[in-house]
Amino acid sequence: MRTLLTIISVTALTLASATAEPSPASTAEATGKIVEFKAGSALVLDSGAGEPVHYKISRNVTYINARGKMVKAGKMKKDRKVRVRYVKEGSDLVVDKITVVKN
């Protein structure tokens, strides 16, 4: 019985960690102005240091306004300064959080 409980506990912990947010070591952030935005699909960000960077938008992306409140994708507009959190998946940069930055 004790062994069964141990196996169940280990399995539950493994599943919980597999569905959690990406680890800080695997994520990165970038800041810039929105050049192009297609909700649920793509984002092009100009950081001011060379060519604009193309990102894909994760299905479960979170949008945050400058006050730290969650907002809808419609608040993301061209030329708005934002910070994105992303993870590299193969050759794609996939964004899971977009935060508006005060100018």
Nearest to 95 by CA among 47, 49, 40, 51: 40
With a CB cutoff of 8 Å and minimum separation 6, the contacts of 46 are: 32, 33, 34, 35, 52, 53
How far is residue 47's CA from residue 60's CA, in Å, rounded to a whole number?
A: 24
102 vs 29: which has the higher pLDDT: 29
Percent of the chain clearing pLDDT 90 (strictly above): 64
Angle at 62 between CA 33 and CA 34, to 5 degrees: 10
CATH 2.40.50.320 holds for 24-100: yes
- The gap from C-alpha 59 to its chain's centroid, in whole angstroms, comes to 10
Which pLDDT tens digit goes with each residue over 41-90? 999 999 988 899 999 999 999 999 999 999 999 889 999 999 999 999 99
With a CB cutoff of 8 Å and minimum separation 6, the contacts of 73 are: 39, 40, 61, 63
pLDDT score recorded for residue 42: 95
Per-domain boundaries in the chain: 24-100
pLDDT score recorded for residue 17: 47
pTM value > 0.85? no
